[in-house]
Amino acid sequence: MSTDTIEPDMMEPDTAEKIATIPIGDIDVARPSLYQKDTIGLFFDRLRKEEPVHYCRESYVGPYWSITKFNDIMAVETNHKVFSSEAKLGGIAIQDMHSVEGALELEMFIAMDPPKHDQQRKAVSPAVAPSNLLLLEPTIRERACQILDDLPVGEDIDWVDKVSIELTTMTLATLFDFPWEERRKLTRWSDITTAAPETGIVESYEARRQELIECAMYFKGLWDQRVNEEPKNDLISIMAHSPATQNMPFLEFLGNLLLLIVGGNDTTRNSISGGVLALNQNPDEYRKLNDDPSLIASMVPEIIRWQTPLTHMRRTALQDWEIGGKQIRKGEKVVMWYLSGNRDDTVIDRADQFIIDRQNPRHHLSFGFGIHRCMGNRLAELQLRIVWEEIHKRFRKIEVTGEPERLLSNFVRGITKLPVRLHAR
Amino acid sequence: MVKVTFVSSDGTRREVAVAEGETAREAALFNNVPGIDGDCGGVCACATCHVHVDPAWIDRVGRLEQGNAEAELLQFAEGANEYSRLACQIPMLTKLEGLILHVPEQQY
Ligand code: HEM
Ligand code: FES
């Protein structure tokens, strides 16, 4: 049978009724197109109801288990002795790391197990500790104000390019005290660190390798400069002067640095875009916010739950283990779908609704839990809080004026375009 | 009810009470004690309920056991020391009536 005899709709059903007709074993939530069309939630609704721990035998990333309920995800997260993050076993995403010959792979502790993970995380974490972030807050705010002040009111603009990317890049540059005029380099390096040629971001693995070497040289320069200056509170200076990181082999330093850049780039960018979209889709919530800006405190974690900027983390089973009545075997790939767990209404009240004044808004999975729990979670919240406080002072409404476009990815839940018009207060 | 006092880094003392058997995390959350978030729901997976047990109380509460899940999490927490515990792992039994817990400065 040739493929053109199959209705596109049948290959890619987009309503709950059509999805209900697929044999449960054939459901494959790895397909990136489902995320681009944003129909993925309907598939997870069905899995949570009928087969919360689900095995997909065949997909473009090979066979894998899906864990879709909040408490089952928590059970995997907190059991790192059985569920490994190790890069050599495949790492932390549904698509294996180290699967491509000749791709320069950087070592990052997000894809390591204890004890190495613990040593590296402990060495780097003081740099993003809350007490250090407080020192950076005034600069982050001042620069956010500049970006917002320069925006044209009443014209159609793309919020993603003009605001989300700009604000995130600005924060990264501030954190690293990176040369201001060259700050978009950071965004570029973040993009290529995670890029494969099929994404179109780089031409080939060789091209990617070249750019990463350029990046390494650049940071080496900054390191040499900071090491010879008085200690300051940017992350490079902190790492260059702290006993735990001072003598790190350079490639290890680079891996950790890029992990901080990558970790905070797409995720924060898409939370900034996702918040605007969610408020537009829920006008009552937008009204609540305008009436009482103190709700920003609980709105920020709710935006992060709602967006779920990383749809999943993956583990590899080191031994046979039972979860939700299913037998997982040693060596199998286990995917914790945060995007699904964050809609699990047996744990989160009215999980399918965006509610900016929830009682317990931080009880969500977007930052993971356990020893790998996001190290930048407070930084991410700080950035979003500043952005929304400053938006509130200036604009009555950020009106979404066209259809958003979404990223073709089963890992980063991204918004690539969001047409808006600003209304001054 | 069992009483417990939370002392914040600026010295503010808050005495609260909780039903016996609830944890010190619940005692803080039910009474809006600042600095104790308890994001993971009390299952020892986030360390946002980190406290320093008052030295006079540490032996009655019990010290951290190296290598267990609680110690694994606390190694990454800012300001962790020999009196560190996770409030969600401290059941408030009557023998702890009057317990004093300090909220680390770094938590907000
Ligand atoms: C809304 C924004 C963000 C989201 C949704 C997010 C999400 C995540 C997730 C899901 C993990 C893995 C958790 C697990 O495996 O249990 C993680 C780990 C990590 N994140 Fe974030 N992140 C965000 C912002 C940031 C920022 C701003 C930074 C930079 C400082 C950062 C740095 C890291 C690092 C270093 C790790 C590795 C931690 C480890 O393996 O021990 N993240 N993040
Ligand atoms: S509430 Fe998460 S560790 Fe105690």
Domains and CATH numbers, chain B: 2-102 (3.10.20.30)
Contact check, Cβ <8 Å, B72/A125: no
CA distance A81 to A319: 9
Radius of gyration of chain A (CA): 22
Kindly tell me if the per-residue pLDDT of A103 is higher than 70.
no
- CA A364–ligand 2 middle distance (angstroms): 13
Q: Minimal Cα–Cα distance from A241 to chain B, Å?
A: 18
Kindly tell me if the per-residue pLDDT of A10 is higher than 60.
no
Which residues sit with their C-beta closer than 6 Å to ligand 2?
Answer: B 25, 38-40, 42, 44-49, 86, 88
pLDDT one-digit tens code per residue, A376-407: 999 999 999 999 999 999 999 999 999 999 99
CA distance A339 to A410: 11
Q: Exposure pattern of A202-218 as b/e (b: 16+ CB <10 Å)?
A: beebeebeebbeebbeb
Contact check, Cβ <8 Å, B43/A130: no
Rounded to whole angstroms, the maximal C-alpha distance in chain A is: 70
What is the 3 state secondary structure string of A356-425? Answer: CCCCCCCCCCCCCCHHHCCCCHHHHHHHHHHHHHHHHHHEEEEEECCCCEECCCCCECCEEECEEEEEEC
Ligand 2 nearest atom to the CA of residue B86, by list position: 4
Q: What's the confidence (pLDDT) of residue A128? A: 85
CA distance A331 to A317: 5
Kindly tell me if the per-residue pLDDT of A6 is higher than 60.
no
CA distance A359 to A298: 8
Angle between the N-to-C axes of helices A165-176 and A377-394, in degrees from 0 to 180, rounded to the nearest 10: 130
Kindly tell me if the per-residue pLDDT of A62 is higher than 90.
yes
Contact check, Cβ <8 Å, B76/A363: no
Mean pLDDT over A211-229 rounds to 91
Question: What residue spans define the domains of chain A?
Answer: 16-407
pTM for the model stands at: 0.94
Low-confidence ranges of chain B (pLDDT < 50): none
CA distance readout (Å), A407 to A42, A404, A410: 18, 10, 9
| pLDDT higher at A254 or A29 | A29
Pick from A77, A130, A370: CB nearest B106: A130
Contact check, Cβ <8 Å, A126/B107: no
Q: What's the confidence (pLDDT) of residue A227? A: 92
Angle between the N-to-C axes of helices A250-281 and A205-227, in degrees from 0 to 180, rounded to the nearest 10: 110
Average predicted confidence (pLDDT) for chain A:
91
Mean pLDDT over A11-17 rounds to 83
Atom 16 of ligand 1, residue of closest alpha carbon: A368
Pocket test for ligand 1, best of A109, A311, A367 (most atoms within 8 A of CB): A367
- Looking at domain A16-407, its CATH architecture is Orthogonal Bundle (1.10)
In percent, how much of chain A has pLDDT > 70?
94
Pairing of strands A64-67, A333-337: parallel
pLDDT one-digit tens code per residue, A321-361: 999 999 999 999 999 999 999 999 999 999 999 999 999 89
Model confidence at A9, in pLDDT bands (50, 70, 90)?
Answer: very low
Contact check, Cβ <8 Å, A130/B78: yes
Mean pLDDT over A204-224 rounds to 88
Residue A126: list chain B partners with CB under 8 A. 78
Kindly tell me if the per-residue pLDDT of A134 is higher than 60.
yes
Q: What's the confidence (pLDDT) of residue A11? A: 61
Q: Minimal Cα–Cα distance from B23 to chain A, Å?
A: 17
pLDDT one-digit tens code per residue, A104-127: 667 889 999 999 999 889 888 888
What is the 3 state secondary structure string of chain A? Answer: CCHHHCCHHHHCCCCHHHHHCCCHHHCCCCCHHHHHCCCHHHHHHHHHHHCCEEEECCCCCCCEEEECCHHHHHHHHCCCCCEECCHHHCCCCCCCCCCCCCCCCCCCHHHCCCCHHHHHHHHHHHHHCHHHHHHHHHHHHHHHHHHHHCCCCCCEEEHHHHHHHHHHHHHHHHHHCCCHHHCHHHHHHHHHHCCCHHHCCCCCHHHHHHHHHHHHHHHHHHHHHHHCCCCCCCHHHHHHHCHHHHCCCHHHHHHHHHHHHHHHHHHHHHHHHHHHHHHHHCHHHHHHHHHCHHHHHHHHHHHHHHHCCECEEEEEECCCEEECCEEECCCCEEEEEHHHHCCCCCCCCCCCCCCCCCCCCCCCCCCCCHHHCCCCHHHHHHHHHHHHHHHHHHEEEEEECCCCEECCCCCECCEEECEEEEEEC
- CA A376–ligand 1 middle distance (angstroms): 6
Three-class secondary structure of residue B103 per DSSP: coil
Q: Name the closest ligand to CA B73.
A: 2
Model confidence at A5, in pLDDT bands (50, 70, 90)?
Answer: very low
Pick from B44, B47, B106: CB nearest A131: B106
- CA A152–ligand 1 middle distance (angstroms): 33
